[in-house]
């Protein structure tokens, strides 16, 4: 389901809420209110990972995020006035204010961002209202432009959409007409955003295959085996219903296959994590999960098989994902941060063979280095990543220490009388030379 984050001043949010209440968009909406434009950067950090689109009430917030977030990962849009709407507003203004010529009017939402809504196409230069032409678009520049035009006696009135600027205009005693978007405008803008996202998703759709393998206890009877399979089938149907996750479900021997289309860059990873947590919380099944993203069902199935093999090696209720041409693995997915690594790293595979370290464990350590070169490792923390005993992790750490790939740092003191915990960090240059 498409997720839209609405970012707006409080007053404009009320109109948007009405439009959402009166229309069924088939989306999930998240609402964020700001008083100052600077708050938008913090809002972006809060909502960027849960949003398919950021929807602003007007161009001011939209312009701010475009110019203040360098690596913008989420599409943005805003409630826009159409040319037809603007011409209608101007016609009504001419009718109700015949003594104020249009060239004595300042419209602060006609900007370079919207190409002045093509008004110059309809009006001769001598009849054009004043527009906001500064490429820097914020409260301060808006105020400066209004004061400049008013004090130089070039305008008699202004149009504004900027709700948070009304108090300033009242203090300056500049006559204005404030325009809030209509419900119709909000509805049409949201629908346009939804249609754009759906079109983009349709063009980017990949196949997602999720394979879930049951792990049976030793000497299980055929009846108990059948019971576990039926139980897992029911849990998967429950998950599909509870999370509204539209996948087809097939049972093959001791594993289940989930197939669906996916947009890859957004919610699928978190949904797979939800599925792992959902099954794990049931507590009566042992399973392994592998997922694959590809351009075809066959490719995705192949990747899911490889990911499932990795989950089997990992050896607990968890999952891994493979996507991309290099079959890069991501996982284990139940952890707060997932590692990214690949069996195509021949240097790591050669090192594992010559030094007696399991290749999967070594590749995960290489992935840990890629994720955070400054990470501090202990045998206990490494045990979580590798799902092996702390004693086995100590042996791996000693091998890496002997190869000058890591170095020991000051031990972490324990409360009470316990021995200090040995801590290590990567020798970055040596690690890069050895594995990259």
Are 140 and 74 in a shared domain?
no
CATH no. for residue 195? 3.40.50.2300
Are 134 and 229 in a shared domain?
no
pLDDT confidence bin for 265, thresholds 50/70/90: very low
* Range with the largest mean pLDDT of 112-116, 140-144, 429-433: 429-433
What's the confidence (pLDDT) of residue 25? 84
Residue 246, judged by CB atoms within 10 A of its CB (0-12, 13-18, 19+), counts as exposed
Strands 105-107, 130-131: pairing is: parallel
Strands 206-214, 287-294: pairing is: antiparallel
Are 115 and 235 in a shared domain?
no
Domain encompassing residue 140: 83-180
Question: In the 8-state DSSP scheme, what is residue 181?
Answer: P
Q: Is residue 264 predicted with pLDDT exceeding 50? A: no
Range with lowest mean pLDDT among 140-149, 196-205, 234-243, 390-399: 196-205
Split into its structural domains, the chain has a count of 4
Range with lowest mean pLDDT among 192-201, 278-287, 301-310, 395-404: 192-201
Query: Domain end: 309, 324, 343, which one?
Result: 343
What's the confidence (pLDDT) of residue 257? 92
* DSSP-derived 3-state class of residue 259: strand
Q: Is residue 340 predicted with pLDDT exceeding 70? A: yes
Q: What is the mean pLDDT of the chain?
A: 87
Are 66 and 190 in a shared domain?
yes
What's the confidence (pLDDT) of residue 157? 94
Are 224 and 297 in a shared domain?
yes
Name the packing angle between helices 390-402 and 359-371 (round to 10°).
70
Are 136 and 220 in a shared domain?
no
* Range with the largest mean pLDDT of 157-161, 182-186, 248-252: 157-161
Are 27 and 143 in a shared domain?
no
Which strand ranges, in their side-by-side order, compose the sheet holding 406-412? 376-377, 421-426, 406-412
Query: Cβ–Cβ contacts within 10 Å for residue 384, how many?
Result: 12
> What is the distance between the alpha carbons of residues 255 and 236, in angstroms, rounded to a whole number?
12
Q: Is residue 77 predicted with pLDDT exceeding 70? A: yes
Are 319 and 413 in a shared domain?
no
pTM: 0.52
pLDDT, one tens digit per residue, over 345-396 is: 899 999 999 998 999 999 999 999 988 899 999 999 999 889 999 999 999 9
Q: What is the dihedral of CA 136, 139, 145, 149, to 10 degrees?
A: 160
pLDDT, one tens digit per residue, over 25-71 is: 888 899 999 988 899 999 999 998 888 889 998 878 888 888 888 77
What's the confidence (pLDDT) of residue 335? 85
pLDDT, one tens digit per residue, over 148-168 is: 999 999 999 999 988 878 888
Are 245 and 328 in a shared domain?
yes
Are 228 and 311 in a shared domain?
yes
> What is the distance between the alpha carbons of residues 37 and 13, in angstroms, rounded to a whole number?
15
pLDDT, one tens digit per residue, over 388-421 is: 999 999 999 999 999 999 999 887 666 656 678 8
CATH no. for residue 89? 3.40.50.10660
What's the confidence (pLDDT) of residue 413? 66
Long-range contacts of 396-401 (CB under 8 A, 24+ apart): 396/357, 396/361, 396/362, 396/365, 397/422, 397/424, 399/355, 399/356, 399/357, 400/365, 400/424
CATH no. for residue 410? 1.10.10.10
């Amino acid at each position: 389901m498409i997720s839209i984050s609405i970012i707006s001043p409080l007053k404009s949010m009320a109109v948007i809420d009405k439009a959402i209440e009166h229309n069924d968009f088939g989306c999930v909406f998240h609402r964020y209110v700001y008083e100052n434009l600077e708050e938008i950067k913090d809002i972006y950090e809060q909502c960027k990972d849960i949003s398919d689109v950021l929807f602003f009430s007007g161009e001011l917030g939209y312009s701010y995020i475009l110019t203040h977030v360098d690596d913008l990962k989420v599409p943005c849009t805003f409630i826009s006035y159409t040319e037809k709407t603007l011409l209608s507003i101007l016609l009504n203004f001419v009718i109700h204010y015949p003594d104020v010529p249009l060239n004595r009017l300042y419209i602060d939402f006609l900007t370079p961002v919207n190409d002045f809504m093509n008004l110059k196409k309809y009006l001769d230069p001598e009849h054009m209202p004043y527009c906001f032409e500064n490429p820097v678009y914020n409260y301060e520049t808006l105020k400066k432009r209004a004061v400049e035009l008013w004090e130089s006696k070039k305008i008699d009135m202004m149009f504004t959409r900027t709700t948070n600027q009304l108090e300033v205009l009242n203090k300056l005693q500049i006559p204005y007409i404030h325009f809030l978007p209509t419900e119709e405008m909000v509805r049409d803008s949201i629908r346009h955003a939804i249609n754009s996202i759906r079109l983009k998703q349709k063009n980017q759709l990949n196949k997602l295959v999720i394979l879930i393998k049951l792990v049976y206890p030793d000497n299980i009877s055929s009846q108990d085996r059948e019971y576990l399979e039926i139980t897992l089938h029911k849990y998967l149907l429950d998950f599909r219903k509870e999370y509204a996750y539209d996948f087809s479900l097939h049972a093959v021997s001791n594993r289940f296959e989930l197939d669906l289309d996916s947009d890859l860059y957004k919610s699928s990873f978190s949904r797979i994590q939800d599925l792992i947590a959902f099954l794990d919380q049931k507590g009566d099944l042992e399973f392994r999960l592998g997922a694959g993203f590809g351009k075809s069902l066959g490719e995705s199935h192949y990747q899911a098989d490889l990911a499932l093999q990795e989950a089997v090696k990992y050896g607990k209720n968890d999952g891994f994902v493979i996507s991309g041409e290099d079959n890069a693995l991501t996982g284990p997915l139940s952890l707060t941060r997932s590692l990214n690594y690949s069996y195509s790293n021949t240097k790591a595979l050669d090192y594992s063979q010559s030094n007696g370290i399991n290749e999967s464990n070594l590749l995960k350590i290489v992935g840990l280095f890629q994720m955070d070169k400054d990470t501090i490792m202990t045998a206990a923390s490494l045990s979580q990543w590798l799902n092996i005993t702390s004693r086995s992790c100590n042996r791996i750490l000693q091998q890496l220490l002997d190869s000058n790939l890591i170095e020991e740092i000051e031990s972490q003191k324990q409360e009470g009388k316990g021995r200090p915990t040995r801590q290590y960090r990567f020798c970055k240059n040596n690690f890069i030379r050895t594995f990259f």
